[in-house]
Amino acid sequence: MLKKILSCFLITGLLTLLAACNPPAEKFSNTDITGIDYAKDFALTDHNGKARTLADFKGKVVVMFFGYTQCPDVCPTTMVEMANVMQQLGQQADKVQVIFVTIDPERDTQALLASYVPNFDQRFLGMYGDAAATAKIAKNFKVYYQKVPGKTQTSYTMDHTAGSYVFDTDGHIRLFLSLGQGIEPIVHDLKLLLK
């Protein structure tokens, strides 16, 4: 009986010691969407005129945001936030690719994206497709967007999902970043994915 009790104490002690050697893995600050069955890939053109898919960025963490260049608030705020994230990451930022996907292909031409997106960070890429390609990627990523008429035919605005998707270095979807949380939680999560 004493042997059994001593064995139990010994096993419990060893398990406690092993647990102390392997601290629990750090958790993401943002919404972990690992394993979802959508947001798998894309086929768009970047602001340099090059056809792109997710495979082009293998080895990098990819942050993908859907917006439009004439957006008055959400889009520039998100882009500034991501530029600040890149600054905080220092040299690790070279292993991160921020992609701005337009949901307004009618106005957001290649030239406009090429002048708008790199203003936030030279490494950022603007992406576009025609109306059909835009609808396809929005459906694939479950992104809502809708034109809201303005005073003239070209002064419309776009309602759209405000948040970013994050892929790990192997091209697997991992996170959804909510709007307006500040840069610290994003930096924390991107560093975890870069480990």
Please give the annotated binding residues for Cu cation, written as ranges. Answer: 71, 75, 160
Interhelix angle for 74-89 vs 184-194, to 10°? 50
Task: Please give the structure tokens belonging to residue 25.
Answer: 């893995």
- Alpha helix ranges (H) inside the chain: 2-21, 74-89, 110-116, 131-140, 184-194
Closest CA to 67 of 123, 116, 132, 119: 116
CB 43 within 8 A of CB 51: yes
Any bridge partners for residue 64, and if so which?
99, 165
Rounded Cα–Cα distance for residues 77 and 54 (Å): 25
Known binding-site residue numbers = 71, 75, 160
Any bridge partners for residue 164, and if so which?
65, 177
Residue 144 has φ and ψ, to the nearest 5°, of: -90, 135
